[in-house]
Amino acid sequence: MNDLIEAAVDYATRGWHVFPLAPHSKRPAIPSHTAGECDRTDPYCADGHQGWEQRSTTDPDEIHALWAAGQHGLAIATGPSRLLVVDIDVSKLDGGRLGLQSLAHLEARCGRRVPERTFTVATPSGGQHRYFHMPPDTAHLPTTTTGRLGPGLDTRGRGGYVVAPPTTLTPDVAYRVVCPARPAPAPRWLVDQLTAPARSTSSPKSDQSGSGSIVHHHLRYVQAAIDGEIDRVVSAEVGGRNHALFLASIALGQLVGADLLTDSDALEVLRSAARSQAQAPGEGYDQRQVEATIRSGFDRGLREPRQLRTTR
């Protein structure tokens, strides 16, 4: 218990609000009753039911009292702590690659990277929790989401919590810190993905006639095509990655040739998708080869523009 208390106090000194979990569980240990069962006899609930989030604390004395009663685990309430935690789940499907592939897809689609140099926890399932700090001048912390960023990618923000090291679920299963760096600021582009209505991240060219019909009628088609080509690249198996990148380059080049996508956006999507493969095992990553493959496929696509019907 000393390790847990020390960890809880350490988190509290960072301004992170902590609370105990039931032994060997992810379930909050406090309060001992639900909102529907609250009869106001609990002193905390004298003015209304107080759940785990309201009872989370940064007070060292309260921390010692809360963990004195048993073998409780440790959780951090992300909302009061102004933390945004990205939960990368790698255990559910597709040989344990689901969350990582979704992350690569997200990064390629947005042309940005989710910082790796930040406070990071390895979960017992083999996944990761990457912690990000929301600056105090940020008006709204995103709510907790499931799959909003992609399959196997969840987030914990307002209304959520994460199990924190050194909590153990079984004697052999524990949460552990793998990068002790201070949490990086939450990337603005990532916050926008969680708070703004879904929208295209590409920039299709507008109809030169001024009607905007190409953008209006084909925007969803274009975005679906982009997503499909990103999937093609990031999910390609060893031995087929260069060919997948070539085919994707042809496809996006065809969209550019049809004035449905700008060349700069198409090239950035392709390069970002290719960068995600730099972390994949089994093949070397030769930047010159990547650029040559993209250019070869892209130029071919430009010569064979996509033919689409325009609905008016």
Helix (H) or strand (E) holding 222: helix 213-234
pTM: 0.67
Q: What is the pLDDT of residue 118?
A: 97
pLDDT category of residue 159 using cuts at 50, 70 and 90: confident
pLDDT tens-digit readout, 111-123: 889 999 999 999 9
Residues 6 or more apart in contact with residue 226 via CB below 8 angstroms: 109, 201, 202, 252, 255, 261, 269
Asked if residue 255 lies in contact with residue 307, where contact means CB atoms within 8 angstroms, the answer is: no
Q: What is the pLDDT of residue 60?
A: 96
pLDDT tens, residue by residue, 182-200: 999 999 999 988 886 544 4
Which stretches within 28-162 are classed as H helix?
52-55, 60-66, 98-110
Burial 183-210 (b: 16+ CB within 10 A, else e): bbebbeebbebbeeeeeebbebbebeee
pLDDT-derived band at 141, boundaries 50, 70, 90: confident
pLDDT for the residue numbered 75:
96
201 vs 18, higher pLDDT: 18
pLDDT, one tens digit per residue, over 81-95 is 999 999 998 754 444
